[in-house]
Amino acid sequence: MSRRLLVLLIAAGLSGCATISDGIDAINPFSSSGPKMTPLQPIKDALELRVQWSAGVGKAGSYSFAPAIVGKSVYAAARDGTVHKLEEGKTVWKIDAGQPLSAGVGANARLVVVGTAKGDVLAFSAVDGKPLWQARVSSEVLAAPTVGDDGVAVKSGDNRVFLFDGGDGGRKWVYQRSTPTLSVRSAGSPVFADSYVFVGFPGGKLVALSLQNGAPVWEGAVALPKGATELDRVADVVAPPAIDGRQVCAVAFQGRVACFDLGQSGALIWSRDISSATGVALDGRYLFVTDDKGAVYALDRLSGSSLWKQDKLLNRRVSGPAVYRSNVVVADGEGLVHFLSREDGSFVGRQKTDGTPVRAPVQQLGSGFLVQTSGGNLSAIEAQ
């Protein structure tokens, strides 16, 4: 078990928020204090990789920032408070949010939303970056807000979920549940689907909340805490679930990857013992997941059976995967982007960025992939 992955300590008697200092990052999921990275072996490139564009968007500091993609627009934020809107790598606008940021970006065609370590939620116009409203949650915001037609969902560091009105920032509802003594410092955003908000929690639970009032509709057990100590019993869903059709899949640290049926009140379809804090990706046939040691798996999404495993990236602090057509793409703690064959997991290409860690999952952008490094490099990479 990787002890470096832990985290956030909340005293059992606390009812208020727990504010995390930047120093806590030394024991976050992407800490550099873990085992030495496995050296990379040379590969024979089967793909021609091309950087479509690259831009500097500001450093992440000790936090994890993920870009938001809305049509042809890309929104990105940085620790120093800067927020960018780019199209094809060109800056459309750049603003200063007025305070340091700890999470972002959530966006749609109207809104761009970021969060701070003080619990502030800041919304700006997607058109020109002008401030629109500000709201507050109960503790630091580590997960990018989720922006949808029904509002803005924000998960705070103390595992509360808030839904705000997208027009004026008024609070619609808040959901809270008891938190274990120990839990993983989470940057897993809520996900909208159908009439639900899906959120992962400590204790291995995936919960479907009603969009209307925040009431829990069903919850699925992604993992079951077990072990003799509080540390052993940490089993948290800390990455966003993946949803496709009537299937929702999630993974837990020190737990399992599991898929549930949306049409049967969260009935479990299958589960597999794989520990991860970086999340899963789905395509029409497969589920892809990076485990907490850096191995990348492909599983049959209908049964959970193993298809392949790529274990040549062990201890390289590998990001969550993205998939498009024949390529599965992950990035690592040295800013390298690895292209794997969807069919057998073999390496088919490798691309350098700025040499700093990639903490957020790789994202699909058009016919390519988007990667944001902690050093502030945002790159769109295409395989030809």
The dihedral region occupied by 27, where left means phi > 0, alpha psi between -120 and 50, and beta the remainder, is alpha
Model confidence at 9: pLDDT above 70: no
Rounded mean pLDDT, 357-374 = 96
* Predicted pLDDT of residue 166: 98
* Predicted pLDDT of residue 186: 74
| Identity of the highest mean pLDDT range in 14-28, 175-189, 333-347 | 333-347
The dihedral region occupied by 115, where left means phi > 0, alpha psi between -120 and 50, and beta the remainder, is beta
**Band of pLDDT at residue 32, cut at 50, 70 and 90:** low
Kindly report, residue by residue over 294-330, the tens digit of the pLDDT. 999 999 999 999 999 999 999 999 999 999 999 999 9
Rounded mean pLDDT, 25-53 = 77
Give CATH for domain 1-34+65-186.
2.130.10.10
Rounded mean pLDDT, 251-268 = 92
Kindly report, residue by residue over 114-163, the tens digit of the pLDDT. 999 999 999 999 999 999 999 999 999 999 999 999 999 999 999 999 99
* Residue predicted with more confidence, 229 or 80: 80
Contact 376, 358 (CB under 8 A): no
Cα 373 to its chain centre, rounded Å, is: 14
| C-alpha dihedral sign at 275, 279, 282, 288 | negative
Enumerate the CATH 2.130.10.10 domain ranges in the chain, comma separated: 1-34+65-186
Model confidence at 17: pLDDT above 70: no
Model confidence at 21: pLDDT above 70: no
Enumerate the CATH 2.40.10.480 domain ranges in the chain, comma separated: 35-61+309-384
Model confidence at 3: pLDDT above 80: no
Tokens matching residue 217? 């509709």
**Pairwise CA distance, residues 100 & 80, whole Å:** 5
* Predicted pLDDT of residue 33: 59
* Predicted pLDDT of residue 181: 83
* Residue predicted with more confidence, 264 or 43: 43
DSSP character string of 268-335: EEEEE----SS-EEE-SSEEEEE-TTS-EEEEETTT--EEEEE-TTTTS-PPPPEEETTEEEEE-TTS
How far is CA 31 from each of CA 23, 26, 359, rounded to the nearest angstrom?
11, 6, 10
What CATH architecture is 35-61+309-384? Answer: Beta Barrel (2.40)
Contact 222, 270 (CB under 8 A): no
**Pairwise CA distance, residues 210 & 307, whole Å:** 35
**Pairwise CA distance, residues 383 & 370, whole Å:** 12
